[in-house]
Amino acid sequence: MTNKIVIAELTKGTINPATAELVSAAQSMGGEITVVVPCTDATTADAAASYDGVAKVIAVKSEVFAGNDSSGWASALDSAIPNGTVVCLATARSKDVASRLAARRGLSIVQDVVSIEGSNLTSPIYSGKANQTVTANGDVVLTVRANVFNAVGSGSSNDVSVVDASGDVKTAVQEVMQRASARLDVSEANIIISGGRGMGSPANFTHLEAVADTIGAAVGASRAAVDTWEEIPHSMQVGQTGKTVNPNLYIAVGISGAIQHLAGMRSSKYIVAINKDADAPIFQHADYGIVATWEEALPVLQDSFSSLLG
């Protein structure tokens, strides 16, 4: 049984809670688990010290991790982490780092893993139309989608060792531009409410925002909405040419359910569709469907959520 090296996911310099899901994913493959925390300040790794089921926590310190150069990240990690199967979160940046790390170590990579049974790793292919299971023969690098594995508990007190690493920075970030919207990003959200062309106008997205604020959701959009209205930014687009999301709850409002939209959200745990057309394809993939206009359905939903949560 080979060792499993979990690379902690960092969001704004702190450990993302999804890292505890990576530990759980690694546990399903067996072997001793080491959590590696890329950081510029070793105290960042303290949050990983409490994870259950972990043998070691290593804070890998390098100035490289202050930037966004994936090749620098990969070279710093490669110089500092032990051998074994490497487990990362399937975010855009970590998938990039993971593939570079795999190339450096001569290992195969399996991206977007959604299920693990021993050394059998399953991930969606053909825009989510089918699943593929591959068997890892020895060490591999894999990226795991968020919200698929239950997070491990956090009652332990593991020692944190610190390793200094150097990375070869090939590119440097000159300027970071703030995202246009201060709202929660769809790729980080546990609940998403998305609007399509059926919303009628970009101004009507305020109705989705009101529901989102009540239930702590992010607001997403179909490509038709993004392409039709310049007020709806591409960063909100879910689908084949937008973001792949995997929330616990996805509410699709005025979205027909084209295959390219489904490609980005069909693995959501629960899908709720609101559409005035009972034959809209989205209903074939929804756990719950409301055949109504959003003008009828959203106020009822908003009232119910407010009285439940308020």
The binding site for ligand FAD (CB under 6 A) comprises 196-198, 222-225, 237-242, 254-256, 258, 260-261, 264, 274-277, 280, 293-295
Closer residue to ligand FAD, CB minimum distance, 287 or 295: 295
Closest distance of CB 283 from ligand FAD, Å: 10
Whether 185 contacts 286, CB under 8 Å: no
Closer residue to ligand FAD, CB minimum distance, 74 or 273: 273
H helices present in 55-203, as ranges:
70-80, 92-105
Closer residue to ligand FAD, CB minimum distance, 145 or 266: 266
Closest distance of CB 169 from ligand FAD, Å: 33
Closest distance of CB 224 from ligand FAD, Å: 3
Give φ, ψ of 6 to 5 degrees.
-95, 120
Q: Report helix angle 294-309 to 205-215, nearest 10.
A: 20
Closest distance of CB 175 from ligand FAD, Å: 28
Closest distance of CB 196 from ligand FAD, Å: 2
Q: Is 98 exposed, middle or buried (0-12, 13-18, 19+ CB in 10 A)?
A: buried
Q: Which residues of 34-60 are buried (b: 16+ CB within 10 A; e: fewer)?
A: bbbbbbeebebbebbbbbeebebbbbb
Closer residue to ligand FAD, CB minimum distance, 38 or 196: 196
Closer residue to ligand FAD, CB minimum distance, 120 or 201: 201
Closest CA to 77 of 103, 55, 54: 103
Closer residue to ligand FAD, CB minimum distance, 51 or 229: 229
Rounded to 10 degrees, the C-alpha dihedral 62/41/46/18 comes to -60
Q: Rounded to whole angstroms, how far apart are CA atoms 136 and 115? A: 13
Closest distance of CB 257 from ligand FAD, Å: 7
